[in-house]
Copies of this chain bind each other. A is one copy, B any other.
C-alpha cells in the first residue's frame, strides 16, 4: 500500500546462514526451558535470536517444527551408551542418565517441556518417537553384550526393559512429582532383572 517507505535495510552482510541457525536454535531452547512449550512464542524466538519473525516462518512453518529442529540441531540430546562390564551396571547407568536428563537443569527443562508437549503437538510426538527409537537402537548393544556374557536369556525384549526403567523415572519425576531416592535406580534395575516376588503365581 505504501509507495516508498524509507528505503530500509537489506541484508546485514552475514557470512553464513549456519550461524544464524545456531542462534535461532539456542534462543528456541532457552525460551522453551524458561517458559515451557506454550509460553514459547515465535515472536519471542525472533526477538531473542535477532532475526525477523518472517525468517522463522520461512523455514519452519509451525512452532513444533521449529522446536523439533532446534532439539535435533543442537546436539543436546546425545547420550552415550555405557559399558560397565555388567548388565546391572549398564542398566543402572542408563537409568541414571534418564534421571539426570529429567532433573538436571537446564537440559531437564527443555527435555521435560518437549516430552510433555509431545502429547499434543504431533510434530514433537514424532520427534520424541524418533528419539526413543534411536536410543533403543543404541541401547541394544547393552543387551547384546549381556547376552554374550550369558547374563540374559536370548528372548528378553530390550524395549520392554527400557520401557519399564525409563517409564518409571518419568512417572516418578514428572507425573508423581515425588523426590527420587538415590537408590531408586539400583532398586528399579534389581526389580526388572530379578523380580520382586519370588513366589507370585
Contact = CB atoms under 8 A, between A and B. Distances in A.
Interface of A: 1-4, 17, 36-39, 41, 62-64, 86-88, 112-113, 115-121, 125-126, 128-129, 132-133, 146, 150-153, 156-157, 159-161, 163-172, 174-178, 184, 187-188, 191-201
Contacts of A112: 119
Contact of A146 (B133, B174, B197): B197
Nearest to A40: B1
Copies of this chain, tallied across the complex: 4
Q: Which 6 A-B pairs have the closest CB atoms?
A: A116-B119, A167-B167, A195-B195, A36-B120, A167-B171, A163-B168
A174 B118 contact: yes
Contacts of A160: 168, 184, 187-188, 191, 196
A32 to B, nearest CB: 10
Contacts of A157: 187
A39 B161 CA distance: 35
Contacts of A197: 87, 146, 151-153, 156, 193-194
Contacts of A152: 196-197, 199-200
